[in-house]
Amino acid sequence: MFGRTHQLLVGMNYDEVKTQDQYSNEAWGSTDIFQLVQLPQPSIPLAGNYQTRTEQYGIYGQARFSITDPLTFVLGGRVSNYHTFSGNADVGTTPNMPRDPGGVDHKFTPYAGLIYNLNSQISLYGSYSQIFVPQSQLTASGSPLPPRTGDQYEIGAKGEFYDGKLNASMALFNLKDRNRAYYSSDIFFYSAAGEVRMNGAEAEIGGSPLPGWDLSAGYTYLDPHYRTEQDEANLSAITPRHNAKIWSNYHFQNETLRGFNIGAGLLASSGWTSGNVRAPGYTTASLQVGYRIDPYWNVTATIDNALDRHYYQSFYAAGGFYGAPRSFMLTIRAKY
């Protein structure tokens, strides 16, 4: 079009989740909370079941217009639909599941951006996007929270050097966030926070300093501004100001160990304050080993929080939530 090459993308998606919870009105007795991994299924009569069905679907599109050789204009958006159905009934019967309030029909969220290529290695960009995230958490009245909404502005630069062996990016952003869910532990339900304005910056660098060695690091800084003191008390404990990460992965090049790779990484977060409670920052380590069986199959074993560090990931009025303990994961991938 107009003697230049442009790109157009159009798509659609559908997602449905069904859940069922069964419950009893009978007393069960006491339980040792430190032995929950061996908790047996109680032999008590079930009284009812609570079922939910959540569906979301929409169409989306993106157009990339080549204005001049160095300048590209990006325009896109999505039309979203989100509904939740829930009902309660006796065990053995199917509940009537009316549509819950708070669903969304034909919600349009746009985004736009400009990309300017300074040269073959460095590009500058600026973007705007609206935020729309449906939330399934329930309020004390039993209805879902309103969707999380907001706006984000971002400017930054990206670069690729040494034939792709080194990549780097830097960005500044301003985020307006409304209705973010937080856990009201005193009533065992969720509430929607007010408006939070977030200024921030992030930088990432990654590359291959030696054959077979991939190395990456990143840092994010957040400076939140809360509309009320209550919002600050509820959200400051889940919004650390400083976050950093580093990851290293090496693919063996010699013939004896060819096909094997080993990796290690660190995630670090600064401390936070909630009311009179101050939690220190923490760092967790991850380890990984993998083996490429053939060009199609690959197996990887990963240990997250390898040192089994105990730390608070968030904290609320009546207590805190520990971060994930040490975990193991074995992954097998096939690609054809």
Per-residue pLDDT of 86-119, as tens digits, reads 888 888 888 888 887 778 899 999 999 999 999 9
> 36 pLDDT band (50/70/90 cuts)?
low
pLDDT, tens digit (0-9, with 9 covering 90-100), for 242-291: 999 999 999 999 888 999 999 999 999 998 776 677 778 899 999 999 99
Q: Is the pLDDT of residue 302 over 60?
A: yes
Q: What is the pTM of this model?
A: 0.75
Q: Which two tokens stand for residue 311?
A: 């730390």
Whether the CB-CB separation of 40 and 78 falls below 8 Å is answered with no
* Chain centre distance of CA 153: 19
Better pLDDT: 316 or 90: 90
Q: Which two tokens stand for residue 137?
A: 């958490």
Q: What is the DSSP string of 179-242?
A: S-EEEETTTTEEEE--EEEEEEEEEEEEEEEETTEEEEEEEEEEEEEESSHHHHHHHGGG--SE
Q: Which domains does the chain have, with CATH numbers?
A: 1-21+47-64+73-98 (no CATH), 118-334 (2.40.170.20)
